Every structure is written in structure tokens, then in C-alpha cells.
Structure 1
């Protein structure tokens, strides 16, 4: 008999296999197959931010009140499968962009839905959820390895032949499978109708109630730093795969899975590090890792200095876990019981919504500035986020003085 845990693990695997199967290579596909400019590529990646901004309305104000979570998960993924197939067929950016925007508006809410389905079926989510969520990271890794080592769609020859668009077909099939599979998951009725829990209002869903946390000088400094550090983050998501492919790194998508592997490793180290060295030191190390990784990208190459690129990719765990995950922990500790949900909604909307939206816009324009006849001056591109992250680090070091002690719980990894 298939256990609940196994069924939820399959759901998580497919959820992140879909995302990792096309998003990592998106920049390379747009540049090579659709001949998109840097600004256009930035627009395409920013659809993730628009999806993150719209997602709270779909989940908090609609799905969470009127529909079973597993049913709307199925509907969204079936719609996503159709859009993903349309992306596979798109032959120019003007056709591609509205389709990817519609897809991300459907996909981003499913990130909260798979968590909701999982939490409601587990007896002890605090101890059981991580063992289920890790299958999402495995799904992301397997997608990258499949692209690079099974089909070799990201090889120079395959990219030249236009085979990279097959990633959309692969993900359309996976989305169709997950859409149908979702209807077999355990019933997860709306919170408002199960157990008599109170409905969340607009203010709580969007984190407006938690804005009062910004009255705290140190939290306001952290909040601003979180938004600003999303600019370097956007450079990685948008440019890492095209960069590796253009300079001749073999199997670039598979190589980038080292970043997800490092996330899992450093996630295990994070609680101990916060407890021993404090939140400020942890956040500073996260920002320093961003600056260091981009310096490594700027001066590394695919031949004698390949080790610098490998280290830069492997630093992803430090970059993400030590700043963004520790920031979620810090936000949770500062919010108190009353504003925990609102505060997480606020910081997510500010970073993955507003911050990343600005970040992709900046990354698009910087990339376009350093582009000439289909090639890029990558050193100039990577030095910009390196210097930017370093400036944010210095300002944060000088201004942030919170002595708040945090007992850090273990947190789930995120791709």
C-alpha cells in the first residue's frame, strides 16, 4: 500500500521537476532560439515575480476559502500543461512572453498549495515535512541531470539544432501527470470549513498587518537589504546557464545542480550556525557569498580556471540559505505569535515579488549593455552584482545592530 508520505513525496518531486526542467535553461533558450535581447530575457524571468505578487490573492483569498487544495492544484497544473505545450511551439518572443506570464501566474500559487496539502496530512509537520520537501529538491536535480546527461539538450550541438525547446515538452508532460495525479491526493478542504478556523483577511494574506515591524529600525534595515540583495540573486537565475553554455562548459544544466545539492548541505548547518554566531554574522556571510560567487564567475573560465566556476555554483547553498532562509527565521522571531503569517507574507512579497522584479529588470539591462553580436562581455556583467552585493554588505554591517537572540529551528530547503 502506498503511504501518505510516499504520495506526498511524489507530488513534491513532480512539482519541482517541472520548475527545474525549464526555468534553469530559459535564458539560454531565449537568447539562442528566439534571439531575445537582454531586456526581453529580463521580462521573461520577471514573470516569476508577477506570479509571486498575484499568488497570495489566488491562494489566500480564493482557494483557501472555497476549494479543496488538491483540486485547485490539479486544475492549475492541467492549465499549466497546456501553456507549457504552447511555449514549446512558440517561435518568437512576442508569442512566448504572454504565454510564460500566464504560466507563472498559474504555477506560483501551486508552491503554496503543495505545502498546504502536505501540512494538512501530516501528524507532525515540524519533523515530517523536511523528509517530503527534500524530494522537491531531488526533482529539480533530476530535471537538470536529465537535460544534460540523458538527452544532452544543452550541448552546443543540440542548442544549435534548436533541441533545447524540448524542455518545455518534457515539462508539459510532467505537468499533465501532476495535474491528473493531484486529483488522487487526500482531500484537503478549505481551512474555513475544516475545524472552524478563522478566515484570513486581505491584510493578513498580503502581510499588511506586519508592516508595523518596519517601525523597528533594525528590522527595517534588514527588510531593505533583503529587497536589494534580490538584484544579485536575479543575475544568477537569469544569466548563469547562458553564461556557462556560451563559454563552453560541458553539461551546464547538470553542472548547476551542484547548487541544489549544496542547499541541502548548508541547510543542515544553518540552525547551528545561527545559534552559535548570531543572526547578523549569518546574514553577512550570506551577502559575502553573493559577492564572492560573482567574482569567481567574472574571473573563471571553462578551461584552466573551471574550478572557480564550480566553487561559485556550489556557493548557492550559502548564498540562499544563509541570507534568505535565515531572514525568514529572523522575521519569524521578530513577528511574535500574532503576526507570524503576515510577516512571512510581507517578506516573501517584498523579495520574490518586488525585489526580484527590480532585479530581473536591472539584470536584463546590464546584460544587454555588455552584449555584442550575440556574445557577452561576461566579466563586466558579473562584476556588477559582485560590487552591488559588497556595497549592500558594508552598509548592512555598519547599520544593523540587532542583538536579538534566536533559537533557530531546522528549515526546509528551497530551490
Structure 2
């Protein structure tokens, strides 16, 4: 996710609009596959076995990627890989919840310390790819493939998580896909929230798409060619994931103090700051801007995802709550990701790339910052939500 931009632009020299299509595969596969594989796991196959099979298939597909020599074929191969990979995010949560409940652990207390190792793994993958000098080579695909196949083989030996057929039989196909929650669009407040989720979801992947390519591009300038940022751009960007783990711990304080709407607005303004800092940064005198932008990322990413999830939790009835959470994820990781990746790729190629093929990074980041600022401005005036500390307390007590 982080380094494929370097491979795309600096090694293959393919176009920006085609790169946007590559990242849209995350959104496309997020629309249906997690729910479909959830149905399969609920009715016919152990969760850990399905999880293992999908990771091995993903790894095998990635082993083929280095052989692809044209961007159109690359898109279809990546899409096939993402159709296997994206469902594993939800399945890993299901495995964890099943085993924790089976052994009578407190999910609210014990799951987050387990889940945080996923972020640690994200950081480790970035460091390994960087330190082995594979951020611009096909080696990154081999690293991903070997890790995925290894995880798949390991997963065959996890404790069994058998299908919960009764649960599946009581849920309609539409309900399992989250379609029941679409009735929430009848409520103007909820409809507005989901619309903003799409537009902010469009911003969530922009720095994942272009961040490493941007930092690596400084290597074309003699003054920065041997700088730490250019040599280890992926490690520098991993500060963003480290920041995520810190800001997760700060969310309860901000929610109690400011409320859900203000925390979501803080997230949007953090995106403005994130993009704005990158627009004027450089690897030497502006290194502090790069570091600060990575720190701000944790606030920008976590605050909207978690506060948005809590808004859904406190604004929907119990019988539709799971579907509503699925709809929230569909808006951000599905439609939002497709919108952000496709539109940004088109705009960059047609308006912010010189005739010599050089990307005009300062203008790109300013454009992204302006986009996030407009979203924040509209959200602050159009979205009405009163801070209710008692609603958050009810969630805490329910999970205790």
C-alpha cells in the first residue's frame, strides 16, 4: 500500500490516472466481499480455514505480479488479489472475538491490546521493505506474498472457529450485506453523515497512495538526493502508524471533552494540516514539517473512523446497528476509497503533471488540503449534532 507508488511512478513510469484505478481496487473489493465471505464462514466453513485459504490465494497472486508488464493487466491482477485480501480484515476480527469469548475474556478490555499488533505489523512491513531496499522494486511483492502465504499456513493451526449456522439462518442475505441499513437515508441527519463519510473517505488513502512517491521524488534534486528522507522514506512514513497507536489512547478524552461532532471536525482539520505541511516540506530545512505531518496523521485517521463509528452506535436502534456499521465502512472504505483514488489519479495526471512527466507535488498537496478544508467547512455548518456525554457512557457501561 505505501510503497507501490514508488514502484509505479519511478520504476514503471506509468500514468497517474491508472495508478488511481489501482487503489480503487481496495474500495471495489470492500463493497461486497467482506459480507459475502462472512456468509460463507457463518454457514459452511470454519472462519480460520477460510482466512487461511484467502491469504494463501492472495500470496500466490502477488507472486505473479512481478511478471506483469502493462498497467491494465496490473489492475486486474491487483483487483483479484484485493478480492482475496480485503475480507481477511473482518475475518481476523471474527477469529479473535470467537476465541476470546470461548475462553471467557473481556472483549472490550482484551481485544485492543491484541489488535494494536496489527499496526505494529504494518510498521514492521514498512521497515523491512525499506531496509531491504525494495520500496521501488518487485521485491516488495515477494515480501508481501511470502508473509501472506506464511500467515495462511500458520492459520490452519489456529483453534477451530466453526460456523454459527443459527446466526446465519436468522439473517437475510440483504441484512448480511448491510442493505437493511439503507433505510437510514430517510433520516436527513444520517444521510448527511454518510455523504460526508464518502467524501472524507476519499481523503483517507491519499497519503498512502502518494506519500512515499512524493518523498522519494526529492531524490531527483541534488541537494536532497542523499538525505535521510529519500534513503528511508518508508521508515519516515511509518511514524504515521506509530502516531495512530498513540491517538487511539487519546480518543476517550477528546470525546468526553468535545463530543463526537467536534472530534470528527478536528479530524477533518487535521487532514488540512497534514496535506498543507507536506506541500511546503523538504527533507532538510522542512524535515520538521514531514515529521509533524506524520504525527498529525494519527489524529486525522483515527478520530474520524472511531468517532464516526460511535456516532452510528449512538444513533441507530439495536436491530439495525450491525448493518449500519457495515454501511459506514462501505461509505468510507468502499465508495469513498473509489472516489478518492479515481478522481485524484485523474486530476494529478491532467492538471498537476508537467509535460516532462514530473509531478507538481506542492500544487497536489495544496489541492488536497483545499478539498479537506471545504469538507470541514461544510460539515461544521450542515451537520447538526448535540454532544451527549450520557450516550457515550451507556456504550462504555454496555461493554464493561
Q: Whole-Å Cα distance in 1 between the matches of residues 44 and 387 of structure 2?
A: 40
- The answer as to 2:82 corresponding to 1:104 is yes
The question of whether the paired residues in 2 share the 8 Å contact of 1:50 and 1:357 is answered with yes
Aligned partner of 1:59 in structure 2 is: 37
TM-score, structure 1 normalization:
0.87
Structure 2, unaligned runs of 5 or more: 220-228
Distance 1:188 1:375 in 2: 51
- 1:320 is the counterpart of 2:301: yes
Alignment of 1:346-357 (within 5 A): 346-357=327-338
Question: Which residue number corresponds to residue 260 of structure 2?
Answer: 279
Identify the residue that residue 5 of structure 1 maps to in structure 2: none
Identify which of 171, 181, 189 aligns with 1:200: 171
| Residue number among 147, 161, 164 corresponding to 1:191 in the alignment | 164
Matched, 1:179 2:152: yes
2:111 is matched with 129
Cα distance in 1 between the residues matched to 2:320 and 2:253? 25
Any residues of structure 2 matched to 1:26-175 within 5 Å, and which? 26-122=4-100, 123=104, 124-149=106-131, 151-154=132-135, 159=136, 164-175=137-148
Gaps of 5+ in 1: 1-22, 411-415
- How big is the shift at 1:360? 0.5
In structure 1, what is the equivalent of residue 386 of structure 2? 403
Partner of 1:295: 276
Deviations 1:90-133 (A, max 9, x none): 23323322111100000001111111111000022111111111
Q: Does structure 2 retain, via aligned residues, the 8 Å contact 1:59–1:112? A: no
**Residues 404, 201 of structure 1: CA spacing in aligned structure 2 closer, same or farther, 3 A cutoff?**
farther
Question: What is the CA deviation profile of residues 134-174 of structure 1, one whole-angstrom value per residue up to 9, with x for unaligned ones?
Answer: 1111100011111223x1333xxxx4xxxx21011111111
Name the Cα RMSD after superposition.
1.7
Task: Answer yes or no: is 1:335 the counterpart of 2:294.
Answer: no
Asked whether 1:384 is paired with 2:367, we answer: yes
How many angstroms does 1:278 deviate by?
0.8
Q: 1:71 offset after TM fit, Å?
A: 0.6
Aligned-pair CA distance for 1:221: 2.0
Deviations 1:367-404 (A, max 9, x none): 21212223211111111111111111111111122115
Q: Distance in 1 between matches of 2:185 and 2:256?
A: 24
Give the whole-Å Cα distance in 2 for the aligned partners of 1:54 and 1:245: 35
> Is 2:66–2:141's contact at 8 Å kept on the other side of the alignment?
yes
Q: State the distance in 2 between where 1:342 and 1:218 align.
A: 17
What's the TM-score once normalised by structure 2's chain length?
0.90
Tell me, yes or no, if the aligned pair for 2:36 and 2:177 is still in contact at 8 Å: no
